[in-house]
Structure 1
Amino acid sequence: MSAETPQAYDDLLDAYRRVSNLGSAVGVLSWDQQVTMPEGGGPARSQQLSTLSGLKHELLTDDEVADALDAAGEAELSDEQRAVVREIRREHERAAAVPQELIEQISATSSEALEVWESAKADADFSQFAPVLDELVELRREYAAHIDPDRDPYAVLFEEYEPYLGLETAETVLERLRDELVPLIEAVGDSDVTLPEPFADGTYSEQRQEDLSREILTDLGYDWDRGRLDVSSHPFTSGNQFDCRVTTRFLSEDPLSALTATIHEFGHAFYNLGLPQEEYGTPLGASRDLSVHESQSRLWENHVGRSRPFWESIADDVRSAFEGVDADADTLYRAANRVYDDNLIRVDADELTYHMHIIVRFEIERDLINGDLAVEDVPAVWNDKYEQYLGVRPENDAEGVLQDIHWSHGNFGYFPTYTLGSVMAAQLYAAAEDDLGDLDGAIRDGEFEDLQTWLRENVHRHGARYRTDELVERATGEPYTAEYFLEYATEKYGDLYDL
């Protein structure tokens, strides 16, 4: 390797770390806006975020980065270094295609839209949110056109969140799950089995729910020295390998909602906290993408948190936390996996109908971005699709089109990653079981270390070194496939409902 090679690579990393640090600062301000910022802080926060987003874009598209990429690209590099150059080049080229003014406008509009969305949701009034949503759709169309005016704009936006599996893969997976899960959901609905509802007709204090959430996070291995738990209107995770925070929400009549949301966010945080610390600020210290991120959250939420062994491990804690709940582990397990197609809320959906919620959002946002659906028509289309796919119709906008936060951020193309991640989670968990043996026994005993070590070794430590499909194949020995998820869902719910 020539003497100038490491210098060219180091120059690139020095420039990129500044970009990464600005991104981390944006993340902290965004977390604060949703968790602790005073209600009146919005106007200043939108300007702050706009400025930082503009500076990040300016640094990423600077000639210094372009020159460093060119120099590093001509040097003799290791496989890891080539992966770093690949990831930075991809990010640089996409950013360089978009004017900085547009980046700042999108950031400011998204920040303002968050408060508009919160108010509109509280009032169950989509008309309040419609103008800013219309603006965000137009801004994102413009963004996609700058990157590649000759391609499907929704496909371009989807690649912000999943750059390597491709929209065609997402559409294929979603269509297959729709085709195969709908008959399974219908069979469940026709079953004579009724799963228990041990929390029905009760109310449960937020403090008791929070205490239990904290206890379970501790049992799962959440590092409180590098994290915290707060409350937000929509559960989310924010941070990096040194500081990764989770939020949840509490419903007085449904403590299962907070438990599953908290475990879901733990999966995100555990991934971030497992990224290599020495690679912070580089692609090797960054998560792969949102499909992989969602695979981690859905693995912990569903394959661990909704498993019978897990409920056997926490049944005593649940009974202690909630006075009046005298249910055994089997009852709690079955309650946590009850399928109810009359649920309107995605984050409270069961494991099967959840994907119908995703399909509704995917179809609507794809049509919005492609110009096939007007913003003012979204509530009616949303309600019609819920009736078509789930047999229910929202009574108001708060439980319908306004329930998710993502569009207020301008995150069009995000939703498919939830289902792609669920599919990936089943494949990863099956591979971990093959390698580790009796995971059920370990989970029943509250021992998660072997599974965590497997995930650290096969997913987390690689950062963004490998493309999504390559990472999955290296971890599991097979290409990305929906087979494991469909087999898992059919077997699990067939057993629960005597199908």
Structure 2
Amino acid sequence: MSSESSDADTPDAYDELLDHTKRVSNLREAAGVLNWDQQVTMPEGGTPARAGQLSALSAVTHDLATDGRVGAWLGQLRDADLSEERQAVVREVRREYDRERDVPGDLVERLSRLQTEAQQTWQEAKANDDFDVFAPTLEDLRDLHRERAEHIDDDVSPYVVMFEDGEPYLPLDTVERVFDTLREELVPLIADIREEGEPLPRPFEGSYSDEDQLALCQAALDELGYDRSRGRLDTAPHPFMSGNQFDARVTTRFKPEDPLDALTATIHEFGHATYQLGLRQDEYATPLGQPRSSGVHESQSRFWENHVGRTRAFWEYFAPTFNDHLGTDLSAETLYEAANRIYPDNLIRVEADELTYHFHIILRSEIDRAFVEGDVEADDIPQVWDEKMEEYLGVTPDTDREGCLQDIHWSYGFAGFQNYTVGSVLAAQLDAAVREDLDVDSLVREGEFAPIREWMTENVHRHGQRYETDELVEAATGEPLTADHFVEYAREKFTDLYDL
């Protein structure tokens, strides 16, 4: 039953709270469209106006979200007899209200303006390979985010408060334990591949036009079942997805010498879009129609990218389409191997393979935390980055463009990189669960992706924020979050691929 449905005994306070919550959500959705436009279509000179627009929207949204009436309605509902869904709505609104009510509105406005300006500053710094251009903005962002965190809860580390913005119900120490497991298990596996593995092919020669790659990515989206009436594909400096259950847009980018890069990025963002499009339409703008968390969201993109798009079954199905669009004549097995080649010398996170990817995340998370906690200053980041790249991956970038400037994320905030690994681990856990119910490889080999999408919608998407993260994971997979499935999957897959 929709939370909009009003039973005779539903307290008036609940209906008033729900209407108010929808207004807040719609303002945030409007800001999301402006953010999408800034990264995709806005001319370079538009940043000053966009910063003003977004900061004004953030201030109005904050004022509404922390309106004293919200506190009064929540007080009236504290002991109300509500359905489980309505209890979940109240829980999520209460959590946001409790976190944000002591944050000054002018701080929210200043932070929003700086985040908008920082995106343009980051793009300029990356284009010119000049970290010094970005460093002062990065320090200002850190200081404002710390100030905000201290208003939310001055009894815990500001970094923990920031982490809870994107992952509210998964303790940071749980993620640290996952990191420990991956360090322990992946380091020897990568070493075995380096020392004993049979080399996998690098089959691409020459250059592939953006037009041909765009057509290939469009074809992949159509094959996977992307609803074009509720989405679109564009390009952006850093691929992302933006939207809701009625409008979920994806972006990609192209490397002339490696068409797999754009394809896997597109499938990754398609996975994010499936989550948004799978949310309940009758709960749009309520917590029941919003995704659970950053980590759960990432599980959907990593599932489709890795557990579908990098499988042998997928390439047995998709190889003809790939060859037709790019004028190649590569076998399904060659494309499968190329899509899964391990290359620790890769510098770029979004181009990393499934194993070394996590060391990109770990090094970012370590620098991220050290910077927020004051152990590293902005000017130190390029050197610390290079040292950690050498430590974890055995390679040092020649430029900051390929190093600490490659990601857009610090333009927004901190303590979010961990959720990429959370998503990968959860994706493997969900993959194990869906394979108990469906013959995934047979479906993929026949291009029948709908049953897989429907399984994810039934077990993950449709719940919105009804459950806390651990409850959702257990409901979908039958067990709490664990790295065991990812470790088992990685060992089996790459032992076979590299003939270890």
Normalised by the length of structure 1, the TM-score is 0.98
Once the two structures are superposed, what CA deviation does each residue of 1:370-403 show, in whole Å capped at 9, x if it has no partner?
A: 1111111000000000000000000001000000
Once the two structures are superposed, what CA deviation does each residue of 1:315-362 show, in whole Å capped at 9, x if it has no partner?
A: 001111112x22100010000000000000000000100000000100
Listed as ranges, the matches of 1:264-303 within 5 Å are 264-303=268-307
Tell me the residue number matched to 2:340: 337
Contact kept? 1:27, 1:238, Cα under 8 Å: yes
Tell me the residue number matched to 1:56: 61
Tell me, yes or no, if structure 1 residue 253 matches structure 2 residue 257.
yes
Once the two structures are superposed, what CA deviation does each residue of 1:153-183 show, in whole Å capped at 9, x if it has no partner?
A: 1111000011111101111111211121111
Once the two structures are superposed, what CA deviation does each residue of 1:159-214 show, in whole Å capped at 9, x if it has no partner?
A: 00111111011111112111211111111111240101111x32000000000100
Counterpart of 1:422 in structure 2: which amino acid?
A: S
Once the two structures are superposed, what CA deviation does each residue of 1:31-90 show, in whole Å capped at 9, x if it has no partner?
A: 000000111110000010000001110000001211121122232101111011001100
Listed as ranges, the matches of 1:135-214 within 5 Å are 135-199=140-204, 201-214=205-218
Identity %: 59
2:158 & 2:198 partners in 1: Cα distance?
A: 45
2:26 & 2:435 partners in 1: Cα distance?
A: 37
Q: Describe the SS at the equivalent of 2:77.
A: helix
Q: Which runs of 5+ in 1 are unaligned?
A: none
| RMSD over equivalenced CA pairs, Å | 1.1
Contact kept? 1:15, 1:64, Cα under 8 Å: no
Listed as ranges, the matches of 1:406-421 within 5 Å are 406-410=409-413, 412-421=414-423
Tell me the residue number matched to 1:327: 330
Q: Describe the SS at the equivalent of 1:257.
A: helix
2:172 & 2:488 partners in 1: Cα distance?
A: 24
In the alignment, which of 39, 42, 45 is matched to residue 34 of structure 1?
A: 39
Tell me the residue number matched to 2:428: 426
Tell me the residue number matched to 2:92: 87
Tell me the residue number matched to 1:495: 496
Tell me, yes or no, if structure 1 residue 398 matches structure 2 residue 380.
no
Q: Describe the SS at the equivalent of 2:63.
A: helix
Q: Which runs of 5+ in 2 are unaligned?
A: 1-5
Once the two structures are superposed, what CA deviation does each residue of 1:2-41 show, in whole Å capped at 9, x if it has no partner?
A: 9563422111101111110010001000000000011111
Counterpart of 1:379 in structure 2: which amino acid?
A: P
2:11 & 2:155 partners in 1: Cα distance?
A: 38
Tell me the residue number matched to 1:346: 349
Counterpart of 1:464 in structure 2: which amino acid?
A: Q
Contact kept? 1:294, 1:418, Cα under 8 Å: yes
Consecutive aligned runs of 4 or more in structure 1 exceeding 2 Å deviation: 1-6
1:192 & 1:468 partners in 2: Cα distance?
A: 38
CA separation of 1:295 and 1:148: change in aligned 2, threshold 3 A: same
Tell me the residue number matched to 1:243: 247
Q: Describe the SS at the equivalent of 2:21.
A: helix
Tell me, yes or no, if structure 1 residue 448 matches structure 2 residue 449.
yes
CA separation of 1:111 and 1:321: change in aligned 2, threshold 3 A: same
- In the TM superposition, what is the alpha-carbon distance from 1:97 to its structure 2 partner? 2.2
Counterpart of 2:462 in structure 1: which amino acid?
A: R
Listed as ranges, the matches of 1:303-322 within 5 Å are 303-322=307-326
Contact kept? 1:287, 1:464, Cα under 8 Å: yes
CA separation of 1:317 and 1:85: change in aligned 2, threshold 3 A: same
In the alignment, which of 203, 223, 237 is matched to residue 219 of structure 1?
A: 223
Once the two structures are superposed, what CA deviation does each residue of 1:230-272 show, in whole Å capped at 9, x if it has no partner?
A: 0000000000001110000011111010000000000000100
Listed as ranges, the matches of 1:89-128 within 5 Å are 89-128=94-133
1:2 & 1:111 partners in 2: Cα distance?
A: 43
Tell me, yes or no, if structure 1 residue 23 matches structure 2 residue 28.
yes
CA separation of 1:337 and 1:66: change in aligned 2, threshold 3 A: same
Counterpart of 2:364 in structure 1: which amino acid?
A: R
Contact kept? 1:22, 1:52, Cα under 8 Å: yes
Tell me the residue number matched to 2:3: none
Q: Describe the SS at the equivalent of 2:249.
A: strand
Q: Describe the SS at the equivalent of 2:166.
A: coil
Counterpart of 1:321 in structure 2: which amino acid?
A: H
Q: For structure 1, which segment, 179-188 or 125-134, has the greater mean C-alpha deviation from structure 2 after superposition?
A: 179-188
Once the two structures are superposed, what CA deviation does each residue of 1:406-450 show, in whole Å capped at 9, x if it has no partner?
A: 00112x1110000001000101111000012x2101100000111
1:73 & 1:276 partners in 2: Cα distance?
A: 26
Q: Describe the SS at the equivalent of 1:230.
A: strand
Tell me the residue number matched to 1:463: 464
Q: For structure 1, which segment, 391-400 or 445-454, has the greater mean C-alpha deviation from structure 2 after superposition?
A: 445-454
Contact kept? 1:379, 1:400, Cα under 8 Å: yes
Contact kept? 1:2, 1:76, Cα under 8 Å: no
Q: Describe the SS at the equivalent of 1:432.
A: helix
Q: Describe the SS at the equivalent of 1:160.
A: helix
Normalised by the length of structure 2, the TM-score is 0.98
Counterpart of 1:416 in structure 2: which amino acid?
A: Q
2:419 & 2:429 partners in 1: Cα distance?
A: 15
1:316 & 1:219 partners in 2: Cα distance?
A: 12
Tell me the residue number matched to 2:481: 480
1:68 & 1:282 partners in 2: Cα distance?
A: 16
Counterpart of 2:125 in structure 1: which amino acid?
A: A
1:498 & 1:353 partners in 2: Cα distance?
A: 19
Q: Describe the SS at the equivalent of 2:181.
A: helix
Q: For structure 1, which segment, 91-100 or 289-298, has the greater mean C-alpha deviation from structure 2 after superposition?
A: 91-100
Tell me the residue number matched to 2:236: 232
Aligned length: 495
Counterpart of 1:130 in structure 2: which amino acid?
A: A
